[in-house]
Chains A and B, each alone.
Chain A
Amino acid sequence: MSILLREDFTFIVQGITGREAVNLTRECLDYGSRVAGGVTPGRKGREVHGVPVFDTVEQAIAAHGAPVDGSVVTVPPAFTKDAVFEALAHGIKLIVVVTERVPRRDVAEMVELAGLHDARIIGPNCLGVIAPGVCKMGGIGGPAKDAAKAYAAGSVGVMSRSGGMTTEISSSLSAAGLGVSTAVSIGGDAIIGSTYAELMPLFEADPETDAIVIYTEPGGRMEAQLAEWRRNAGSRLPIVAFMAGKFMDDEEMKGMTFGHAGTIVEGPDDTATEKIARLEAGGIRVVERIDEIPDAVESALRSGDAMAGVARSAR
């Protein structure tokens, strides 16, 4: 099984005629995903790789003849909020926002409105979600054959603030024979629709998922939130974390952002060092090296404890 997606999951693509959207539509179709339609205002009547294009979400759903489960939003930043509001207004419950550089205020409005509609947003500034062999929603993993190469079905749930690192980590888990249950590129911005802690209950309820790997960066409080969730929830899932951007803790790097907009360090709790301490205090194993992830997961699965193999004094 998987989280968020399933075999018959159906979605639309908003902004489907854009260059990136055309590519991801092709990739998703090749992977076997069901893309019911696309929306670009003023382009009704066209087709993108056989997918009909409409002016409005309403038209796309009407033509499909049934509700659609999700939408991939890839429109310019100034129009992103409106596109998400349109999807929410038509009952779409899972919205992947690919667009980068959406102002925080717009993101916060989208997320709050989604909450009122009982819907979920992934992103913005993300590559989407993939359940290996089940469904690919977004550009995650790239072309279908590349996605198949990097993502084998398995037992590890992956969540990452970096789209590229979602694939890198999943590929190493697949090569190690562990595989991936669902991988979520959660997005690199300061405010995102779904944080680690907010997705954890879904993985917790997924019988196919036995362990979690997260990729994380300086900036924000998402890791503290995850550590707190784990302490309080009595979760069955061991979590292994990798923290990139430790060099940003250096004095001369203060006040700079690297990589993603969300890496802005706004307080003393946002640094890599502080976050690692918090994750570990929450019983989450933080590996130093990216190539240690599969071994750390394996040993956690053997013992049922992510901190297995870590000396007590280091806990």
Chain B
Amino acid sequence: MRFYEYESRRIVERAGIPVTRYGFCTTAGAAREAAARIGGPVVIKSQVLTGGRMKAGGVRFADTPEEAEVDAAAILELEINGHLPRGVLVDPKADVAQEYYAGVVWDGTAKRPLMLFSDMGGIDIEEVAAEHPGHVGRGHLSNLIGPGDYEAKQVIAQTGLTGSELTRATPVLARLARLFRAHDMTLAEINPLARLTDGTFVALDAHMEMEKEAKPRQRELLVETLGIRPGDTREAYTPSEFERNVAAIDAADHRGVIQGRDHGFDGDLGLVIGAGGGSLTLTDAVRSQGGRPANYTEIGGNPSVAKACGLAKEVLSKDGVTKIAVMMSIVSNTRVDIVARGVIKACLELDRDPGETIAIFRIPGAWEEEGFKILDRYGVEYCDRSVSMWEAARRAVEKVQGGDGGRAPNAAGGRVLR
């Protein structure tokens, strides 16, 4: 879960890391007041959850409150990568002597957090690491003890910093490491961390991401401190109608889990597919063989007939979908017969012939004999585990593209795509 800059700043501030006297504003008038309160030149920054705001014109400099108001009004209406800002941050223009980078990330191989520090701040840390490796200090943290100030000090000292620079930067990195752990962050960055001309360190920009799984136990920070609503998921895009409908069907019934996505998909073959790895494998198999999926789904656990039916109906109702392929890797928990009943019911309720609409049913495993009997009755083509996931996907693609030689495309609502 991503945070806006103004929230990230609040998080570091709360952890005892100095920040400038910034203001977060949602109107141009408020930005003018904030600039007047600050006094002197200010920076106005768009608050969006996307990169590249500098390039897009989302950061402006103003010398007077009047200019700040004009700049804020322009930024508030400026869409960046399809995102309108939540507001603007009004920040005093700081007297910067030098910029640094301080960050903490997970190292999945070491299974420990990794502290990073550089005396070349303000630019991308990957770039610094690649081109100036001597300017990046690193150090892993224990998950069980600390982090101690000395660990932060060691990392900073690797870049050659000494004197008051070192002693003043140390608590900043140590506190960042502690908040990373305390708040289940997956990324905590201060870039740039600035040393002002008076020698003090302040965070001029901060970027935080929290692990989704930890949201329930971070309620105090999320809701009480930052005022984030529980429904504010911070996804990279707004869920589509299909995605919202599938989520609602899933939430209505605790049996099994279904998920649906159609962001980035616009084909004609509806996919009612399942299990995490199986869905990835099958989506690739369809696309590699020239198929155009209309969506992505995951069936897991042991969904009820109603749930499987609801999912299949949503997929079938998508624009351009002519047939669905119902496929999973070998199942041991999900019951084949229940999914079979669900998808057939979906066809019947939409007044479509299951035999024509379901291009292929390939779910081997638990209760398969019962499932296959039902499929037989409705003339649905199915296969067991002797037919690979690749081959099942091939058959589905061939049918939806009208090349099966036998069956005509669905007369009820289908169109021939060749």
Contacts and interface: CB of A to CB of B under 8 A. Distances in A.
B390 interface: yes
Contacts of B391: 291
Nearest to B289: A289
Q: Label chain B's interface by main secondary structure.
A: mixed
B167 interface: no
A246 B142 CA distance: 34
Nearest to A219: B108
B277 to A, nearest CB: 2
Given A188-B276, A258-B261, A111 B111 contact: yes
Given A103-B214, A150-B330, A165-B329, A291 B277 contact: no
Interface residues of B, number: 51
A164 B275 CA distance: 7
B110 to A, nearest CB: 9
Contact of A143 (B277, B278, B332, B388): B332
Contacts of A221: 108-109
B388 A290 contact: yes
A93 B287 CA distance: 43
B256 to A, nearest CB: 12
Given A258-B279, A290-B388, A139 B264 contact: no
Interface in A247-300: 247-248, 250, 252-256, 258-261, 263, 266-267, 288-291
Contacts of B278: 162, 164-165, 168
A274 to B, nearest CB: 14
A244 interface: yes
Contacts of A266: 186
Interface in A149-186: 150, 160-165, 167-168, 171-172, 175
Nearest to B279: A259
Nearest to B214: A103
B50 to A, nearest CB: 10
B329 A247 contact: no
26 contacts: A102-B213, A104-B186, A107-B111, A108-B113, A112-B112, A139-B333, A142-B331, A143-B332, A146-B332, A162-B276, A164-B278, A164-B329, A165-B281, A167-B332, A168-B389, A190-B108, A191-B106, A217-B280, A224-B109, A245-B284, A247-B287, A258-B280, A259-B298, A260-B276, A263-B280, A266-B186
Interface of A: 23, 77-78, 101-105, 107-109, 111-113, 139, 141-143, 146-147, 150, 160-165, 167-168, 171-172, 175, 188, 190-191, 195, 215, 217, 220-222, 224-225, 242, 244-248, 250, 252-256, 258-261, 263, 266-267, 288-291
